[in-house]
Amino acid sequence: MLLGKVVGTVVSTQKDPGLTGYKLLVVQCVDIDMKLTPVYVIAADAIGCGMNEMVIVVQGSSARIAERTKNKPVDAAIIAVVDSVDTHGKRVYEKFQHN
Partner 1 sequence: MDLARVIGCIVATQKDQSLVGCKLCVIQPIDQDLNPKGSPLVATDSTAMRGEGEIVYYVSSGDAVPTGPEGRKMPVDAAIVGIVDTVDYKKEYLPK
Residues found near partner 1 in the complex (CB under 8 A): 1-3, 31-32, 46-49, 56, 58-69, 77, 79-89, 92
Nearer to partner 1, 10 or 30 (CB): 30
User: How far is it, in rounded angstroms, from Cα 4 to Cα 1?
Assistant: 10
Give residue 91's Cα distance to chain centre.
21
Supply the minimum distance, in Å, between the C-beta of residue 16 and partner 1: 20
Who contacts 84 (Cβ-Cβ below 8 Å, separation ≥6)?
91, 93, 94, 95
Tell me whether residue 19 or residue 47 sits nearer to partner 1 (CB atom). Answer: 47
Smallest distance, partner 1 to C-beta of residue 55, A = 9
